[in-house]
Structure 1
Amino acid sequence: MLLLRAREKMMERFRPLLTANGLTEQQWRVIRALDENGPLEPRQISDLCTISSPSMAGVLARMEGMGLVTKERFPDDQRRVRVSLTKKSAALVRALSKDLERQYRLLEQQVGPDVVAAVYGAVDALLAGLEKA
Structure 2
Amino acid sequence: MLLLRAREKMMERFRPLLTAHGLTEQQWRVIRALHEYGPIEPRQISDICTISSPSMAGVLARMEAMQLVTKERFLDDQRRVRVSLTSASIELVDALSGELEAQYAELESQVGRDVVNLVYKAVDALLAGLEGDSA
Task: Give yes or no for TM over 0.5.
Answer: yes
Q: What is the CA–CA distance in structure 2 between the aligned matches of 1:132 and 1:77, rounded to whole Å?
A: 32
Which amino acid in structure 2 is aligned with residue 10 of structure 1? Answer: M
Q: Percent identity?
A: 81
TM-score where L is the length of structure 1? 0.99
Post-superposition offset of 1:3:
0.2
Q: What is the CA–CA distance in structure 1 between the aligned matches of 2:17 and 2:5, rounded to whole Å?
A: 20
Long gaps (5+) in structure 2: none
Q: What is the CA–CA distance in structure 2 between the aligned matches of 1:78 and 1:14, rounded to whole Å?
A: 38
- Aligned partner of 2:91 in structure 1 is 91
- Aligned partner of 1:120 in structure 2 is 120
TM-score where L is the length of structure 2? 0.98
Post-superposition offset of 1:104:
0.1
Q: What is the CA–CA distance in structure 2 between the aligned matches of 1:7 and 1:93, rounded to whole Å?
A: 21
- Aligned partner of 2:44 in structure 1 is 44
Which amino acid in structure 2 is aligned with residue 27 of structure 1? Answer: Q
* Residue 64 of structure 1 pairs with residue 67 of structure 2: no
Post-superposition offset of 1:28:
0.1
Which amino acid in structure 2 is aligned with residue 57 of structure 1? Answer: A
- Aligned partner of 1:131 in structure 2 is 131
Aligned length: 133
Long gaps (5+) in structure 1: none
Which amino acid in structure 1 is aligned with residue 107 of structure 2? Answer: L
Q: What is the CA–CA distance in structure 2 between the aligned matches of 1:98 and 1:31, rounded to whole Å?
A: 16
Post-superposition offset of 1:132:
0.8
Which amino acid in structure 2 is aligned with residue 31 of structure 1? Answer: I
Post-superposition offset of 1:47:
0.1
Which SS does the other structure have where 1:79 is aligned?
coil
- Aligned partner of 1:55 in structure 2 is 55
Which amino acid in structure 2 is aligned with residue 96 of structure 1? Answer: L
Structure 1 runs (4+) deviating above 3 angstroms are: none
Q: What is the CA–CA distance in structure 2 between the aligned matches of 1:8 and 1:102, rounded to whole Å?
A: 19
Q: What is the CA–CA distance in structure 2 between the aligned matches of 1:50 and 1:97, rounded to whole Å?
A: 22
Post-superposition offset of 1:125:
0.2
Q: What is the CA–CA distance in structure 2 between the aligned matches of 1:111 and 1:31, rounded to whole Å?
A: 28
Post-superposition offset of 1:13:
0.4
